[in-house]
Amino acid sequence: MVPFRLVGDHLQQGLHQLASRFPDKVLNARGMGTLCAFDMPTAAVRDQLLAQALTHGLHIGGCGDVALRFRPALIFEKWHVDVAVEILDKALKELK
């Protein structure tokens, strides 16, 4: 089992990579460990991403006006992060 702090660092790196690949969609990636979030340009775009991610098996939540917030389970390892970031990448590519 990987220490929880390393998993959080891995998730933060994944979100910052998404922000660099999709600078017009993934804004203000932030957080500490696995308690993290990022903003989307509008609530409509955020809601579309949430729906698209859910169709690929990732259930994440919206928060506030335009934020997307992670609330991972207590059992959350690096491979879970890899799956989540891969799904987000796929969903972001599918946004219209």
pLDDT higher than 70, residue 83: yes
Question: Tell me, what CATH number does 83's domain have?
Answer: 3.90.1150.10
Average pLDDT over residues 14-40: 95
pLDDT higher than 90, residue 46: yes
How much is the pTM? 0.92
Total domains present in the chain: 1
Average pLDDT over residues 35-55: 96
In terms of residue numbers, what domain contains 79?
4-94
Residue 64 pLDDT: 95
What is the 3-class SS of 36-59, one letter each residue? EEEECCCHHHHHHHHHHHHHCCCC
pLDDT higher than 70, residue 2: no
